[in-house]
Amino acid sequence: MRRILFIINSPIIGGAERHTISLAKGLEEYGFEAEILALKPGPAGSPKSFNNFKITFPSKPGYFGQLAEVKSRLANNRIDMVFAVNQRPCLVAALSNFGKDNGGIAAVGVLHSTRMRNWKELALQIAHYPFFRSLTAIIFISHLQKAFWNKWGLRPSNSTVILNGINPERYSPAIRAQYREDTRKYYGWAPNDYVIAISAVMRPEKNHGQLLRVFSQLKQKGISAKLLMIGDGPKRQELEVIINSMGLTKDVSITGFVDDVRPHVAAADVGVICSTAIETLSLAALEIMGMGLPMVMSDIGGAAEIVDASCGRLFPSGDDSGLLSALVDFADPSLRNQAGAAASRVVKERFDERVMFAAYANYLNEVIEIHSTKQVRS
């Protein structure tokens, strides 16, 4: 068994965190044993486990506590690789000086972000480049993402692209059929209601406010539409105020945090991701598509690697008219059924998590072997 210490920033269960936990479990089949360390506990109510996978935390708070915790784990455990997820964990991984003090431990970073939310965040990302480059390898999750960061000067000597994947049996049209009727009854929706779903942590970059504006315009066109917001997060209270002020309380439902999104997605007719930043290769989009729904996405990150005109629509980030036009298109049941069938095929053919697990296992084994060889030679 090869042991991997995964480091995440906090246990707010978004796409990067779910990807990490899925990967940690999936790699077991390939002879890897994983533990997950979150650098920060997250806000009140953040989960301490997910999908039965325990998340651990540093014994002392703050940056120096985080660094001390990682060094302690490496000193007291047989760790073959540190796998850092996004900016801060990559910094901690790099500064732990694995090669000299810990027997030549390989350190790999994976980046889940593309466009940053503002110039300050972009500058901070660029400031981390020396630390990213000092890692043994960097993994990008989208070809467009890699091209984006290469353009901005991040060109690590050892890098690869491994696309995200999901379980196509767990997220399938059959699962949608299993849950659909009961969930619609639960929310009080009529069979002919046009239900739009967004599955995303309620953070600023997920841009729920734009979807509410466009949803209101859709209602004004006389379309019998409902909106389901799957998830929770720091913007929830603000969004609830907006929903109330727009008179949409009877038409918009918020699930809060859920362990299993499938019953809720099953009730929908179309999925939306309208992020303005960070988004790269959305697991939420793949899950929605896998269940046989067309996907409407803002054209950032790797969205164009997921969606084309056969299975959904792309629109310029922040463009209300583009989002509205796409949602009006899929109010037509025949069009959305055709696109939904195509979406499910795309996921089966290109985004199966078993392919992703195999690609990670092969690459991580290669990185460990190359790094160990270099350590012996030095």
Q: How far apart are the first and last CA of the chain?
A: 25
Q: How much is the average pLDDT of 162-188?
A: 97
Quick one: DSSP state of residue 43?
Answer: S
Q: Which residues pair with 81 in a beta bridge?
A: 4, 106
Distance CA 253, CA 236 (A): 12
> Two tokens at 16?
């990067």
Partnered with residue 140 across adjacent β-strands are 111, 161
- Cα 378 to Cα 365: distance, rounded to the nearest angstrom: 20
**pLDDT given for residue 51 in this prediction:** 64
Distance CA 206, CA 275 (A): 4
The confidence score (pLDDT) of residue 50 equals 67
3-state secondary structure of 9: coil
Summarised one tens digit per residue, pLDDT across range 273-313 is 999 998 999 999 999 999 999 999 999 999 999 999 999 99
CB 330 within 8 A of CB 295: no
Task: Tell me which amino acid residue 369 is.
Answer: E
Q: Name the CATH superfamily housing domain 173-350.
A: Glycogen Phosphorylase B; (3.40.50.2000)
The DSSP H or E segment spanning 252 is strand 252-254
Looking at residue 196, its pLDDT comes to 98
How many angstroms separate the CA atoms of 76 and 113, rounded? 32
In this structure, are residues 128 and 91 in contact, taking their beta carbons and an 8 Å threshold? Answer: yes
For 343, half-sphere exposure in the C-beta direction (CA atoms, 13 angstrom radius) is: 29
Residue 98 has pLDDT above 60, yes or no: no
Q: Domain 2-165+353-370 adopts which CATH fold?
A: Rossmann fold (3.40.50)
pLDDT at 41: 83
Which of 88-92, 118-122, 259-263, 264-268 ranks highest by mean pLDDT? 264-268
Q: How would residue 371 be classed by pLDDT, with cut points 50, 70 and 90?
A: confident
Kindly state the average pLDDT of the residues 174-202.
Answer: 96
Among 14-18, 75-79, 264-268, the minimum mean pLDDT is found in 75-79
Is a pLDDT exceeding 70 seen at residue 198?
yes
Q: Cβ–Cβ contacts within 10 Å for residue 82, how many?
A: 28
Q: What is the 3-state secondary structure (H, E, C) of 64-75?
A: HHHHHHHHHHHH
Specify the amino acid at residue 82.
Answer: V
Using a pLDDT cut of 90, give the percent of the chain over it.
75
The tens digit of pLDDT for each residue in 134-149 reads: 899 999 999 999 999 9
Average pLDDT over residues 5-13: 86
In whole angstroms, give the CA distance from residue 67 to residue 71.
Answer: 6
The pLDDT confidence band at residue 187, using thresholds 50, 70 and 90, is very high
CB neighbours (10 Å) of residue 127?
Answer: 11
Mean pLDDT for the stretch of residues 83-112 = 82
The per-residue pLDDT for 37 is: 93
Residue 376 pLDDT exceeds 60: no
Domain with CATH 3.40.50.2000 in the chain: 2-165+353-370, 173-350
For residue 325, the tally of other CB atoms under 10 A from its CB is 14
Sequence-ordered list of residues with C-beta below 8 angstroms from that of 191, at least 6 positions apart, any chain: 184
pLDDT of residue 227: 98
Q: Would you state the pLDDT for residue 204? A: 94
**Quick one: what percent of the chain has pLDDT higher than 70?**
93
pLDDT of 101 strictly over 50: no
Going across the sheet that includes 225-230, the strands are: 252-254, 225-230, 194-199, 270-273, 295-298, 312-315
Once rounded to an integer, what is the mean pLDDT over residues 339-357? 97
